[in-house]
Amino acid sequence: MREDVETVVIGAGQSGLAVSRLLTAHGRDHVVVDRGRPGERWRSERWRSLRLLTPNWLTRLPGRSYTGDEPDGFMAASEVAQYLEDYAADFCAPIIGSTSVHRVAREGGGFLIETSRGAWRAQNVVVATGPHALPRTELPESGLPGIPVTQYREPGALPDGGVLVVGASASGVQIASELADAGRDVTLAVGRHTRMPRAYRGMDIFWWMQATGALARIVARDGQPVRPEPSLQIVGAAPGSHRGVDLPALAARGVRLTGRLVALSGRTAQFDGSLPWNAAKSDAAMHRFLDRVDAYAAEAGLARGSSSRRCDRVRSCRSPGRSRSTSAREGSARSWWRRGCSPTTRGSTCPSSARTGSSRSAAASPRCRGSMSSDSRCSIDATRRSSTGRGTTRSTSCRTCCAAASPTTSRALQRSSCRRRAPALC
């Protein structure tokens, strides 16, 4: 059986429901197809302690804003699911639940959408499944039990022993933190990441991101990311109510930090030496944004809070070109794979003209050598070099010369530069 409709929206999460709300407001014929209920992933693919990274006051959808009693709080996953269900009920969203989409293809001047409950013909298709729908677990067989982030629930549900967490964006660092608090021996494989404080100058970091226009950017065009960015290394909790989850905070609590996972063989994991380089790039990006905040505050005449910054650094650095292998202790290691997610359209038949969410992928990163201190404050001269080897020297707050030097800088130069400028940090 085939039914005709003007628009088929695939996915009843926040994006799909927002599109449905706008189509409803303009009287456009459409249906919203979802494999489960509204906000299904918030119900069945999130761990129990998860909360939104954004404060409640920033929870906004077309025609609806947060009106609860805790604007500065952070919704739990179950509360997000209920929020979306209530939102859909507000405008009677035409949702067809418990329906899986198998195929989207061009037919005539429109599209054919084949589902588990029949087929639809539509002039328009909106793929609103989000950029992180399919777990990425492209790792070799190792004999260790591994699960994607969508199946993790709590530390007690994992087998006894140590845990390898792969990926250090928001989900990876939060779960590594939770596992460490539960007394697990945790190793965190770190790739590209975005470090940011939970609050700055007395305001939540998202307040500053909105004020400076950082949230009003195009992140994808024609289904492709304009500039892939990992999610922030923060946790949904008020400042001071939760220990930080950035790399220095995790290292201080005993989490073992490594570079990117490159191979698994039996109980031996091999990592590259990109940790210091990725950490330095992340710190530099954080300080660029905080510099932007300072400039905005000065121009707007805002005297909110202190502009002092912590300079906690990651200790571990490896020589360029070398990788690290770690053998799990017999009978103690369990591997949990957290590789991020990709759009559901990956590997499926979907015409390029059907709009989809953007995917994010981490490219291989260069490496550097040096060492960085933890729990320190500093203001030193940092030698910064580009990938071409050309460098400039300037006075910078909270940056170490070891962290900022590129792989093209010689080891001897880095060692002597560190010892000359900041002996305590090396």
- Quick check: 285 pLDDT over 50? yes
| Contact partners, residue 186, CB within 8 Å, separation at least 6 | 162, 163, 165, 176, 179, 180, 254, 255, 256
What is the residue-wise DSSP string for 226-292? SS--PPBS--SS-TTSS---SHHHHHHTTPEEES-EEEEETTEEEE-S-HHHHHHHHHHHHHHHHHH
Among the listed residues 277, 136, 253, 131, the one whose alpha carbon sits nearest the alpha carbon of residue 193: 277
Q: What is the pLDDT of residue 103?
A: 95
- Quick check: 29 pLDDT over 60? yes
Q: What is the pLDDT of residue 130?
A: 77
Mean pLDDT of 256-269: 87
d(CA 93, CA 12): 9
Residue 108 falls inside a structural domain? yes
Buried/exposed 210-234: b ≥16 CB within 10 Å, e otherwise: eebeeeeeeebeebebeebebbbbb
As beta bridge partners, residue 392 has 384
Q: What is the CA radius of gyration of the chain?
A: 23
Q: Dihedral (C-alpha) 39, 43, 49, 55: value to the nearest 10 degrees?
A: 10
User: Which residue, 340, 368, 394, sits at the end of a domain?
Assistant: 340
Q: What is the pLDDT of residue 318?
A: 35
Higher pLDDT, 411 or 282: 282
| Contact partners, residue 144, CB within 8 Å, separation at least 6 | 164, 264, 267, 328, 333, 334, 335
- Which residue range(s) make up the domain with 113? 2-129
- Judge whether 127 and 11 are in contact, CB under 8 Å: yes
The pLDDT confidence band at residue 223, using thresholds 50, 70 and 90, is: low
- Quick check: 230 pLDDT over 50? yes
Q: Which one of 333-342, 346-355, 378-387 scores highest in mean pLDDT?
A: 333-342
The pLDDT confidence band at residue 247, using thresholds 50, 70 and 90, is: very high
CATH of the domain at 10: 3.50.50.60
- Judge whether 258 and 189 are in contact, CB under 8 Å: yes
d(CA 104, CA 349): 6
- Quick check: 92 pLDDT over 90? yes
Give residue for tokens 């024609």.
222
Residue 74 falls inside a structural domain? yes
Same domain, 124 and 104: yes
Q: What is the pLDDT of residue 316?
A: 40
Burial label for 308, CB within 10 Å (0-12, 13-18, 19+), is exposed
Count of domains in the chain?
2
- Judge whether 169 and 231 are in contact, CB under 8 Å: yes
As beta bridge partners, residue 112 has 105, 121
Higher pLDDT, 333 or 4: 4
The pLDDT confidence band at residue 264, using thresholds 50, 70 and 90, is: confident
Of 148-152, 262-266, 363-367, the one with minimum mean pLDDT is 363-367
Q: Dihedral (C-alpha) 380, 425, 169, 87: value to the nearest 10 degrees?
A: -60
Same domain, 85 and 141: no
Q: What pLDDT, in 10s, does the model give residues 339-376?
A: 455 544 433 334 433 444 333 323 233 333 222 222 22
Q: Which two tokens stand for residue 426?
A: 């090396």
Higher pLDDT, 326 or 8: 8
Q: What is the pLDDT of residue 138?
A: 59
Alpha-carbon distances of 78 from 28, 40, 172, 248, rounded to whole Å: 31, 10, 20, 30
- Quick check: 73 pLDDT over 60? yes
Same domain, 143 and 212: yes
Q: What pLDDT, in 10s, does the model give residues 400-419?
A: 222 223 333 333 323 333 33
d(CA 181, CA 178): 5
Same domain, 58 and 139: no
Residue 217 falls inside a structural domain? yes
Same domain, 319 and 172: yes
Same domain, 207 and 290: yes
User: Which residue, 77, 101, 129, sits at the end of a domain?
Assistant: 129
Contacts 24+ apart (CB under 8 A), 415-424: 415/370, 417/383, 418/370, 418/371, 421/380, 421/381, 422/378, 422/380, 424/373, 424/376
Of 82-86, 131-135, 168-172, 380-384, the one with minimum mean pLDDT is 380-384
Per DSSP, helices labelled H in 68-194 are 77-90, 170-181
